[in-house]
A and B are shown apart, each in its own frame.
Chain A
Amino acid sequence: MALNDAEVGRYARQLILPAWGEEVQERLRGARVRVAGGGLATGPAIYYLAAGGVGTIWVDDPDPVAPGDGAGWAFGPDDAGRPRGVASAAFAAAANGLVKADVFRPGSRPTAVLVCGANMDVSRAIAEEARLLQLPHVVADVDGQGGAATSVPVGAPCYACATRPGLGAAPTPEGAAAVGALAALELLLLLGEIAQEPRARRLEIFRGTPLTRATARQAGCACNAGPPGPSGY
């Protein structure tokens, strides 16, 4: 279905970007993204997914908001004690009234996953689940004032293969903002089908130096075994 006037007005500044266009925006509108992991990058990532026009955003984060959570992105002082998924969904809806945002519920059927794990073990588990379900996913790893965004299209080398040690520094709000935004953009490019090769890649920002590299399978990894079963939750 063609974009309506409200959508054209809302997305005008990205519709004039090279290769973006109406079809890309329609693909984003049809996307359903599960945002999972509860990490610091969740707020920025949700904001940019919503601003980019992802049609449905489901936030999978049942823990309560603690004082100081979110670095001023998704949560305000009044959110303390609310489930973070509920507060994040409200934040997404406020960022763009044209998107649907809710908490992730059993039976929901996302078309992609944005992984914002609170640590690498959490991210690895969620990314592996997405891989087995044949869902494209992007993983945001915040590491100090930077971090990495790993794009895993369906059939690509898995997140575990792509990951390598970073600085191991405690996440900072500015690192979360940069990596969350970067991860959201990577997922928008995958969903819009305009990501350039290599689409399976890892973008790293460490010590202010950006680096992009194609990901590769590690010998013996389960992702070498070819596609798993049918997609779906």
Chain B
Amino acid sequence: MTGRSPAARLDLRQHVCPVTWVKARIAMGRLPEGAILEVLLREGEPRENVPRSAAEDGHRVLLLEPAPEEGAGTWRAWLERGSAVEDGTWP
């Protein structure tokens, strides 16, 4: 991650599924392609689902690591905004 830094930061530790990913998705949609969103997650379901949903939505997970300095059980993820955030199909 040398030379790169997040364009925005989002603390999702107070939220539960599906709001965790919804908030991250909306925040990603407000960033330009290639920008990085840093999210703080609780371990367990948010730490599993948010990075996975981001990857499924066309973003890149650049970093996923414990962040004990932010509080016990906190994880940090860096999500790089892809181009497909609003793509998809509807019948």
Which residue of the partner chain, among A9, A19, A189, A195, contacts B86 with CB atoms under 8 Å?
A19
- Asked, given contacts A8-B19, A9-B19, whether A15 binds B26 with beta carbons under 8 Å apart, the answer is yes
Contact of B18 with A by CB under 8 A: yes
Chain B interface residue number, banded: 10 to 19
Which residues of chain A come closer than 8 Å to B19, judged between CB atoms? 8-9, 12
Contact of B70 with A by CB under 8 A: no
Give the shortest distance, in Å, between B51 (CB) and chain A (any CB).
15
Which residue of the partner chain, among A2, A9, A13, A18, contacts B90 with CB atoms under 8 Å?
A18
CA distance A21 to B21 in the complex (A): 12
**Cβ–Cβ contact A196 & B89, under 8 A:** yes
Q: Using an 8 Å CB-CB cutoff, how does the interface string of A183-199 with B read, 1 for contact, 0 for none?
A: 00000010000111000
Which residues of chain A come closer than 8 Å to B85, judged between CB atoms? 21
Contact of A79 with B by CB under 8 A: no
Which residue of the partner chain, among A8, A17, A19, A189, contacts B23 with CB atoms under 8 Å?
A8
Chain A interface residue number, banded: 10 to 19
CA distance A21 to B90 in the complex (A): 12
Which residues of chain A come closer than 8 Å to B89, judged between CB atoms? 18-19, 196
**Cβ–Cβ contact B25 & A21, under 8 A:** yes
Contact of A219 with B by CB under 8 A: no
**Cβ–Cβ contact A12 & B18, under 8 A:** yes
Which residue of the partner chain, among B18, B22, B26, B90, contacts A19 with CB atoms under 8 Å?
B90
**Cβ–Cβ contact A21 & B29, under 8 A:** yes
Which residues of chain A come closer than 8 Å to B3, judged between CB atoms? none
- Asked, given contacts A18-B88, A19-B88, whether A13 binds B18 with beta carbons under 8 Å apart, the answer is yes
Which residues of chain A come closer than 8 Å to B26, judged between CB atoms? 2-3, 8, 15, 21-22
CA distance A15 to B25 in the complex (A): 9
Which residues of chain B come closer than 8 Å to A196, judged between CB atoms? 89-91
Q: Show the binding face of A for B, using Cβ within 8 Å.
A: 2-3, 8-9, 12-13, 15-23, 189, 194-196
30 A-B pairs whose Cβ atoms sit less than 8 Å apart in the complex = A2-B30, A3-B26, A8-B19, A8-B22, A8-B23, A8-B26, A9-B19, A12-B19, A15-B22, A15-B25, A16-B18, A16-B22, A17-B88, A18-B87, A18-B88, A18-B90, A19-B86, A19-B88, A19-B90, A20-B88, A20-B90, A21-B29, A21-B85, A22-B26, A22-B29, A22-B30, A23-B29, A189-B90, A196-B89, A196-B90
